[in-house]
Amino acid sequence: MSDQVTPEATRSGRAVRRARRVQTLRTSAGLFFRNKMGVAGLAILVVFVLMALFANVLAPEARLSVTNAPGAPLEPPSARFWLGTDELGRSVLDLVIQGSQISLLVGFFATGISMLIGAFIGIAAGYFGGWGDVILMRFTDWFLVIPFLPLAIVLAAILGQSLFIIALVIGITTWPGTARVVRAQVLTLKERPYVERARALGAGHRQIIGRHILPNVFPLIFANTILVVAVAILAETTLSFLGLGDPFSVSWGSILESAFSEGAISLGAWWYLVPPGLCIVLVVLGFTMCGYAFDEILDPRLRKR
């Protein structure tokens, strides 16, 4: 073969491929970091995720004891309690930090469930078509038109109050949007010539879906995921605020709920209401900004030149 050793030829295929993968990742990352909105969103999220991860270090659970609270009821912000105290004398800052853990956890878990159902139904309906598609889509429409809150309240009331149930309830009420978007994409994908080629290769349905359809809808599912997380966190807050959350754990929604029921508004205890509310707004904003930034990366038509 060739006697001259070029640097290209001496590198193994695997090394070349790895280098290329790193390069692709770097390009996408570059695009993301050039997007100011995305960077801001990501910064917000990093702060909150770190807060949730180190919640037990920043605000040890012992300090949230109801019987042995460190401060007096409804103390305004001070050097000791930066964000004041609640009606039981616990630091609101500690509550908010602990709450971030539950809010994010439920948000992610619910999104996972929502994505699984949505992607599964969307792909099945789009790929197989026919009567199955009609039935699955009417089922999806049915979930889509049912107002979210009443359904979630009923489900939470029937199934009981625990974090897992709350996540499940949010998951099974937020999937229809994903299913519709995924189905629409699969409908165009399955008509692509390479899918016909795969069929001519003798590939079965599992092979075609797994190797040709799924990798092509994955970016869409991923971008959708980020936006659904924001919805899920908001939903968790709503349910907790309505008293349908897990009574044994603190989330931003449940802080708001107790602030409301203790009359924080009429007492002028703004430090009890504003921090959890602000956290929710910031996290939802962070996810939405990241979601839009990803949308732009994945859809070159949205990219500004």
Partner 1 sequence: MNNASLLDVKNLRVLYEVRGKRAPAVDGVTLSLEAGDALGLAGESGCGKSTLALACLGLLPHNATVEGSIRFQDMEVIGAKPGRLRALRWAGISMVFQGAMSAFNPVKRVGDQVVEAILLHEDVSKREARTRMRELFEHVGIAPRRSGDYPHEFSGGMRQRVMIAMALACNPPLVIADEPTTALDVMIQAQILNLLAQLREERNIALLVITHDLSVLAQVADRVAVMYAGRIVEEGSAAELLTGPRHPYSKSLVEAFPVVGDSLSRGVPAGLPGDPPDPAARPPGCAFHPRCPAAFEPCDHIDPVLQTYGSRRAACHLVAGEEA
Nearer to partner 1 among residue 3 and residue 158 (C-beta):
3
Alpha helix positions (H), the chain: 7-10, 13-34, 36-53, 55-58, 92-128, 130-145, 148-159, 163-189, 193-200, 205-208, 214-241, 252-261, 264-267, 270-298
- Position 300 contacts partner 1 (CB under 8 A): no
Query: What separation in angstroms does the CA of 83 have from each of 56, 130, 146, 269, 278?
Result: 18, 58, 39, 10, 13
Q: Taking the complex as a whole, how short is the minimal distance between the CB of residue 211 and partner 1, in angstroms?
A: 7
58: nearest Cα among 105, 91, 89:
91
- Position 211 contacts partner 1 (CB under 8 A): yes
Nearer to partner 1 among residue 34 and residue 199 (C-beta):
199
- Position 134 contacts partner 1 (CB under 8 A): no
Q: Taking the complex as a whole, how short is the minimal distance between the CB of residue 54 and partner 1, in angstroms?
A: 38
Dist CA 259 CA 91 (whole Å): 13
Tell me which of 193, 206, 301, 305 binds partner 1, using CB under 8 A: 193
Tell me which of 212, 276, 286, 290 binds partner 1, using CB under 8 A: 212
Tell me which of 68, 194, 265, 302 binds partner 1, using CB under 8 A: 194
Dihedral (CA of 305, 36, 42, 31) sign = positive
Beta carbons within 8 Å of 84's beta carbon, 6+ residues apart: 74, 75, 76, 77, 78, 91, 92, 269, 271, 272
Tell me which of 89, 199, 249, 273 binds partner 1, using CB under 8 A: 199
Q: Taking the complex as a whole, how short is the minimal distance between the CB of residue 301 and partner 1, in angstroms?
A: 16
- Position 20 contacts partner 1 (CB under 8 A): yes
Dihedral (CA of 43, 46, 48, 54) sign = negative
- Position 216 contacts partner 1 (CB under 8 A): yes
- In this chain, which stretch among 9-17, 141-149, 227-235, 293-301 interacts with partner 1, using CB under 8 A? 9-17
CB 240 within 8 A of CB 254: yes
Tell me which of 3, 5, 13, 304 binds partner 1, using CB under 8 A: 13
Q: Which residue has the tokens 């959708």?
A: 224
Nearer to partner 1 among residue 63 and residue 199 (C-beta):
199
Q: Which residue has the tokens 């839009």?
A: 292
Tell me which of 192, 261, 299, 303 binds partner 1, using CB under 8 A: 192
Tell me which of 198, 242, 282, 285 binds partner 1, using CB under 8 A: 198
Dist CA 127 CA 133 (whole Å): 8
Q: Taking the complex as a whole, how short is the minimal distance between the CB of residue 74 and partner 1, in angstroms?
A: 57
- Position 128 contacts partner 1 (CB under 8 A): no
Dist CA 84 CA 187 (whole Å): 55
- Position 285 contacts partner 1 (CB under 8 A): no
Residues that bind partner 1 (CB under 8 A): 8-9, 13, 16-17, 20, 192-194, 196-204, 207, 211-212, 215-216
